[in-house]
């Protein structure tokens, strides 16, 4: 099976704080994986390594068969454009319309002129594709609304549509259900897993809600003190490993 991510003894520090230590991890094409752990366990740092947004201090990270450290600026931008990334803060521009925010998803694959055209006066084909994506996430009627008039849940769906507009090979989501009630959290995860399956995407999500992780993700990678505590099929994971994962005192550099 084709490997999408491969980490070998990857380390990452921020000053004197060791965010990740000795990470060995492989993720294959089409897998659905949840990175779980307490706040500060290193989940976000690991997700950013997978998204080629950070480089390891030691060890190797290969993304879509490439080592990002060996790429020039243009090739690195091209690699990142194949990685749909949903940051925890969503990264939307509040005073722009939904159409423009989704169109921004392809900026990494377009020339400066092409990107400006997509943002200012998108072609009919671009508008049609964006409408189709918005329909798939259930907010097509909001296409010409400003983002700052939408609810939090609707903004989240805009961010998902923007990521899909990139036509990525991978979808990475940082704590997409950290600040929502259980019913909405389930809706968000159902949306992400459904769309990733329909598009044939690898899906990696960071989260701390154990019950939802076990429900939606066949594979769980537990992080503790910046290290891989376990890497197991969710159906085979024992209660002892899970309870140990969330013991107090687990604090590294990020969530």
- Give Cβ neighbours of residue 182 (< 8 Å, ≥ 6 apart): 212
Q: Are 187 and 156 in contact (CB under 8 A)?
A: no
How many C-beta atoms lie closer than 10 Å to residue 213's C-beta?
Answer: 25
What is the model's pLDDT at position 110?
A: 53
Residue range(s) of every CATH 3.40.50.300 domain in the chain: 1-82+168-255
Fold of domain 1-82+168-255: Rossmann fold (3.40.50)
Mean pLDDT by 10 residues, the chain (255 residues): 94 93 97 93 95 95 94 90 92 93 76 57 86 95 96 92 93 89 88 94 94 94 94 88 68 49
What is the model's pLDDT at position 125?
A: 87
Largest Cα–Cα distance of the chain, in whole Å? 56
What is the model's pLDDT at position 249?
A: 46
d(CA 186, CA 197): 16
What is the model's pLDDT at position 116?
A: 59
What is the model's pLDDT at position 250?
A: 43
């Amino acid at each position: 099976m084709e490997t999408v991510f491969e980490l070998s003894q990857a380390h990452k520090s921020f000053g004197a704080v060791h965010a990740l230590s000795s990470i060995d991890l492989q993720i294959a094409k089409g897998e659905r994986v949840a990175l779980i752990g307490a706040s500060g366990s290193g989940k976000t740092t690991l997700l950013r390594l997978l998204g080629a947004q950070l480089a390891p201090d030691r060890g190797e990270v290969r993304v879509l068969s490439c080592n990002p450290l060996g790429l020039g600026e243009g090739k690195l931008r091209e690699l990142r454009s194949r990685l749909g990334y949903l940051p925890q803060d969503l990264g939307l521009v509040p005073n722009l319309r939904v159409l423009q925010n989704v169109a921004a998803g392809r900026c990494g694959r377009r020339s400066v002129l092409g990107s400006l055209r997509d943002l200012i006066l998108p072609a009919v084909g671009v508008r049609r594709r964006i409408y189709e994506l918005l329909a798939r996430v259930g907010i097509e009627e909001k296409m010409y609304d400003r983002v700052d008039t939408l609810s939090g849940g609707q903004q989240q769906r805009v961010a998902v549509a923007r990521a899909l507009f990139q036509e990525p090979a991978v979808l990475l989501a940082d704590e997409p259900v950290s600040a929502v009630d259980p019913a909405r959290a389930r809706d968000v995860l159902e949306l992400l897993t459904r769309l990733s399956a329909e598009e044939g995407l690898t899906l990696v999500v960071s989260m701390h809600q154990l019950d939802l992780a076990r429900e939606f993700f066949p594979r769980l990678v537990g992080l503790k003190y910046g290290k891989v505590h376990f890497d197991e099929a969710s159906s085979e994971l024992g209660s002892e490993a899970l309870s140990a994962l969330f013991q107090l005192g687990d604090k590294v550099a990020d969530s």
